[in-house]
Structure 1
Amino acid sequence: MTLWRIRATVDDRPGYLSVLTASLALRGVNILTVAVHTTEAGAVDDFLVDAPAALTAADLVAAVERGRGRDCWVARSEAQGLADQPTRALALAGRLVQDPDALGEVLRSLLGADTVTWRPVPARAVAARAVEPGGRRSGSETMRLADPAGGSFEVLRSAPSFTPAEYARAQALVDLAAGVARRAAERVTLVLPDGAELTVRPATVEDLPAVRAMHERCSARTLHRRYLGAAGGPPPTKLRRLLDPAAGMGLVAVASWPEGTPERVVAMANLVVEGTLGEVALLVEDAWQRRGVGSALLRRLVRHAGQAGYAALVAHTHADNVPMLRTLDRVSGPGPVERDGALLTVTLPLGGPAPAADRAGQSEQGAPQTPAATEA
C-alpha cells in the first residue's frame, strides 16, 4: 500500500462527496483523512489515502473523475502526513513562539510552498485581496499575506491551488510571529543607579501568580497607597484585568534570577483606557522603591499613550503620597490637580516633548544616567 494526497473539487451538493469516495473505494483506496474546504468554485476535498501499490497517479485521477470530481491534484505522501492539519498548524505555532524568525520555513512547511518572499507591498492592499491568483479571487498558486509590521509575504506553490482555509491558517501564523517578535522587542533591560538590573516587559495573564506573590511581599502601607484603602490588594479577577486590560496595557519589572528559577516580579504599572482617557497606576515592592523603577514604568506608559493618541492620562493618589506626586511631576511635568478630600486626581498632559531619560534617574539598555529622586 502507498500513501497519496488527493485534492479535487466537487459540486457543493448533498451526496456528491459520497459518490467520490465510493469511486475511490471501488479501486481499493482506503481514505485515512478528509478535509472539506468551501470555495466559490465548489467544495474542495482534501484526502490522505492508502492505495494499492499497483495504482498510479493517473489511476487515482481517473477514479476521481469517475466520481464527479474535477481539477484533481495527486501527489505521493509521507507518514508525517497522517497528522491532521490542525495538529500540524498547532505544532508549527509552537515553533514560532520559540523562534519567530523561522516564519518563512514554517509557511513553507504548512503550505508545501515552493518559495516564501517578503515584499514591501502595503499591508492594507494585500489584506483586501487576501488570496490573489492573478486576477481571480480563489484557486490560485499565489498567496499574499499581510505582515502586521508592514509589507507582505508572497507564497508561491506550483500545485494544488490554495484554499481560503489555508489562507486563514497561514495568516494566523504570520500574525502570531509578528506578535511574538513585537513582545520580544518591547523587552528592555533597566539598569538602576545602584547597578541592579531589571527586565521590563508587557504583562500577560501568565504573570498572575508572580504578581500575587509580589502583593504578598508588599507592606500594608504600600498596598494602601496603590489601591487607595483596599486592604490586602485586589482579588485575582481584578488583577487579571489589570495585567491584560481590554484597552490599555500592563507592564511588569522582573528581577534577574538564576536561569531555570521562576521569575520574580518586583513592580507593575497599569494603563486602563476608557474612550480617549487613560488611568495609570504603579505598584513597586517595598525593597525596590526609591530606586527609579516606578519612574521608568510610568514613562513607558506615558510614551505608549502618546503614540496611541489618547487625549490625556489621570492618576489617583493620596495627598500625603509625596513620592508618587514627585514621580508624576518628574515624568510628565506639572498638570492639573483636583482634590476630593485626601484624594488627588492628577492629569498628565500628553502631546508635548517626551521627558528626558536622565530626569527619571535610570537608563534603558545600559546607558548611564543620573540618580533618581524618591518615588513610590
Structure 2
Amino acid sequence: MTLWRIRATVDDRPGYLSVLTASLALRGVNILTVQVQPTEQGAVDDFLVDAPDTLDEAELVAAVERGRGRDCWVARSEARGLADQPTRVLGLADRLVRDPDGTGEALRALLAADVVSWRPASVGAERGISGASMLLADPVGGSFALRRAAPDFTPAEYARAQALVQLAATVARRAAEQVTLVLPDGAEVAVRPASAHDLSGVVELHEACSARSRQRRYLSGAALPQPARLRRLLEPARGLTLIATSTGPDGTAESVVAMANLLAEGDEAEVALLVRDDWQRRGLGSALLRRLAQHAERAGYAALLLHVQAINDPMLRTLRRLGRPSTAERDGGLLTVTVPIAVAALADRPGTSLAPGG
C-alpha cells in the first residue's frame, strides 16, 4: 500500500462527499484522514489515503472524477502525513514559541510552500490568496509572500497561516518584553514594549522633560503633546515603542525615564527618542537606539530614518555610537539621517556622512 494526498472540489450538497468516497473505496483506497474546507467554488476535500500499489496518479485522478470531484490534485505522501492537521499545527506553534524567528520555515512546513519570502508593505499589495500564491500580513510590518506549484491555497489555509504569523509576532514581542539594562555609571533601568496602560507615566515623562528636550524630540515646539497623540505613539499601527523605567533607591514606584519610537512606513522606519534630562548623557539613548535597530533588522526593514536638528550634538553623537554607516540630507537647520539596515539596503543617498569618525 502507498500513502497519497488527494485534494478535490465537490459541490457543497448533501451526499456528494459520500459519492466521492465510494468511488475511492471501489478501487481499494482506504481513507485515513479527511478535511473539508468550504470555499466559494464548493467544498475542498483534502484526503490522506492508503492506496494499493497497483494504482498510479492517473488512476486516482480518474477515480476522483468519477466520484463527481473536480480540480483534482494528487501527490505521494510520507508517514509523517499521518499526523492530523491540528497536531501538526500545534507542533509548529511549539516550535515558534521556542524560536519566533523561524516563522518562514514554519509556514513552509504548514503549507508545503515552495517559496516563502518577506517583503515590505506597499500600497498596491492586497493580502489574501490568488491561486497558488498567498500574501500574509506580518504584525510587525510588511508581508510574507508564499507560493507553491500546486494545489491552490484555500481560505482555511490562509486563516491557519495568518494565525501562525500572529503567534510568532506575539511571542517575539513577549520575548523582548522586559530586559534590565545596566548603564555605564552602574544605574539600572527596565526596558519593555509600551502599551496604552503606560499613558500616565509617559505624560509624566513629558512634564518632567525640559522644553528644549521636548522641542528636540518633536521639532515643532515645546508644548506637551495631546494624550491622543501619545496614545498613538505607545501603540503604533506598525512598528514598536519602548519605554525605560527606573525605581528610586528606596524602592519607590517606578517612573518612566525614556521613550523610544520606531514608526514604520513602507520598508523604512522612523526613529525618535525622548530621554528625561537627568538621564541624558548616561548611555540610555544609545542603548534604546541599538534595540530599535535590532528590531528593525529582525523585521526586515531596509533603513532607519531620523529627523534631527543640526545643532542637536547629543543625538548626533548617539547616532555615531550606533556603529552603522549612515548618510544625511540637510534642509535648513534639519538633518534627515538614513541608516541602512537590511542586506539589500537603500542605495547611498547624497549628503553628509555620519559614519563613525566622519
TM over 0.5: yes
Aligned counterpart, 2:233: 307
What percentage of residue pairs aligned between the two structures are identical?
65
SS at match of 1:27: coil
Q: Distance in 1 between matches of 2:103 and 2:278?
A: 35
Specify the code of the residue in structure 2 equivalent to 1:109. A
State the 1:199 CA deviation: 6.0
Q: Distance in 1 between matches of 2:251 and 2:9?
A: 69
Residues 356 and 196 of structure 1, relative CA distance in 2, 3 Å threshold = closer
Q: Which moved more, 1:82-91 or 1:26-35?
A: 82-91
Q: Distance in 2 between matches of 1:42 and 1:120?
A: 34
Q: Distance in 2 between matches of 1:308 and 1:43?
A: 44
- 1:158-201 Cα offsets, whole Å, 9 max, x none, are 00110001101111111122222233344333227884867654
- 1:202-223 Cα offsets, whole Å, 9 max, x none, are 69xxxxxxxxxxxxxxxxxxxx
Aligned counterpart, 1:17: 17
Q: Distance in 2 between matches of 1:195 and 1:101?
A: 32
Q: Residue 143 in 1 paired to residue 134 in 2?
A: yes
Specify the code of the residue in structure 1 equivalent to 2:43. A
Matches within 5 A, 1:32-111: 32-111=32-111
Residues 162 and 106 of structure 1, relative CA distance in 2, 3 Å threshold = same
Q: Distance in 2 between matches of 1:129 and 1:309?
A: 22
Greater Cα radius of gyration, structure 1 or 2: 1
Residues 23 and 99 of structure 1, relative CA distance in 2, 3 Å threshold = same
SS at match of 2:47: strand
Aligned counterpart, 2:146: 155
Query: Contact 2:275 / 2:285 at 8 angstroms: preserved in 1?
Result: no
Aligned counterpart, 2:112: 112
Query: Contact 2:185 / 2:282 at 8 angstroms: preserved in 1?
Result: no
Query: Contact 2:176 / 2:192 at 8 angstroms: preserved in 1?
Result: no
Query: Contact 1:190 / 1:362 at 8 angstroms: preserved in 2?
Result: no
With the length of structure 2 as denominator, give the TM-score of the two structures. Answer: 0.57
State the 1:119 CA deviation: 1.6
Specify the code of the residue in structure 2 equivalent to 1:84. D
SS at match of 1:190: strand
Residues 364 and 85 of structure 1, relative CA distance in 2, 3 Å threshold = farther
- Which residue of 166, 182, 190 corresponds with 2:173? 182
Aligned counterpart, 2:269: none
Q: Residue 358 in 1 paired to residue 279 in 2?
A: yes
Specify the code of the residue in structure 2 equivalent to 1:36. V
Query: Contact 2:100 / 2:171 at 8 angstroms: preserved in 1?
Result: yes
State the 1:144 CA deviation: 0.7
Specify the code of the residue in structure 2 equivalent to 1:158. A
Aligned counterpart, 2:295: none
Residues 27 and 357 of structure 1, relative CA distance in 2, 3 Å threshold = farther
Q: Distance in 2 between matches of 1:120 and 1:248?
A: 26
Task: Structure 1: give runs of 5+ residues left out of the alignment.
Answer: 134-139, 204-246, 250-270, 272-276, 281-301, 311-321, 333-351, 368-376
- Which residue of 157, 160, 167 corresponds with 1:169? 160
Query: Contact 2:127 / 2:137 at 8 angstroms: preserved in 1?
Result: no
Task: Structure 2: give runs of 5+ residues left out of the alignment.
Answer: 203-226, 237-249, 259-272, 289-358
State the superposition RMSD in angstroms.
Answer: 3.8
Residues 309 and 163 of structure 1, relative CA distance in 2, 3 Å threshold = closer
Q: Distance in 2 between matches of 1:363 and 1:121?
A: 31
Q: Distance in 2 between matches of 1:197 and 1:188?
A: 10
State the 1:47 CA deviation: 0.2
Residues 53 and 304 of structure 1, relative CA distance in 2, 3 Å threshold = farther
Residues 199 and 13 of structure 1, relative CA distance in 2, 3 Å threshold = same
Q: Distance in 1 between matches of 2:164 and 2:84?
A: 17
Query: Contact 2:176 / 2:193 at 8 angstroms: preserved in 1?
Result: no
SS at match of 1:23: helix
Q: How many residues are treated as equivalent by the alignment? A: 239
Specify the code of the residue in structure 1 equivalent to 2:151. P
Aligned counterpart, 2:334: none
Query: Contact 2:173 / 2:193 at 8 angstroms: preserved in 1?
Result: no
Specify the code of the residue in structure 1 equivalent to 2:276. P
Q: Which moved more, 1:95-104 or 1:15-24?
A: 95-104
Query: Contact 2:3 / 2:77 at 8 angstroms: preserved in 1?
Result: yes
State the 1:6 CA deviation: 0.2
With the length of structure 1 as denominator, give the TM-score of the two structures. Answer: 0.55
Residues 23 and 186 of structure 1, relative CA distance in 2, 3 Å threshold = same
Matches within 5 A, 1:276-355: 278=200, 305=231, 307-308=233-234, 331=257, 354-355=275-276
Specify the code of the residue in structure 2 equivalent to 1:96. L
- 1:48-102 Cα offsets, whole Å, 9 max, x none, are 0011111111111111000000000000000100111111111111111111221
Query: Contact 1:188 / 1:365 at 8 angstroms: preserved in 2?
Result: no
Residues 366 and 149 of structure 1, relative CA distance in 2, 3 Å threshold = closer
Q: Distance in 2 between matches of 1:171 and 1:18?
A: 31
